[in-house]
Amino acid sequence: MLRNRIGPAARELNDYGQDLLKEIKERQDHLRALRNVDATLLILNQLLALLGEYQRLFQFLEQKRYFESLQCVQRLKQSHLPNLRKVFPIIGTIDESLDKLSGCIHRWGLFNLQEWLADVREKHLALGFCALF
């Protein structure tokens, strides 16, 4: 009589355990998916910040505001690119191009300064003489 009751109870417990294992696996999969979504959102936010800084950089370049442009390049290199370097291998290439862009910004700034000094020299000889030396 006791044997007759133990068999069905054992099957019932086994089925209940199997159901619990399935539910645990589903929850683990759900948590894993949520972590993936969180990581993806974090990367997208970092990319948006990077693109916003690039937009500011090119706005400053169009306005010939070279000092602010160089500051944008520094911010890109120090804060935005290191966060994304682990995720995207192309960041190394972007970093190299920023070095070249920084050199170009220096040259453009010096060229515009030389043009401005030449303009001052032409218009005001006394002032131009002081600006020259």
Single-letter residue type at 111: F
* Averaged pLDDT, 33-61: 92
State the DSSP H helix or E strand holding residue 121, giving kind and residue range, or none if neither: helix 91-123
Retrieve residue 110's tokens: 């010096």
Write down the pLDDT at residue 24: 95
Domain that holds residue 12: 2-132
Report the share of the chain in percent with pLDDT over 90: 41
Give the pLDDT confidence of 18-43 residue by residue, as tens digits. Answer: 999 999 999 999 999 999 999 999 98
Please give the tally of structural domains in the chain. 1
Band (pLDDT 50/70/90 cuts) for residue 93 is confident
68 vs 70: CA distance, rounded Å? 5
Of 28-37, 54-63, 65-74, 108-117, the range with the lowest mean pLDDT is 108-117
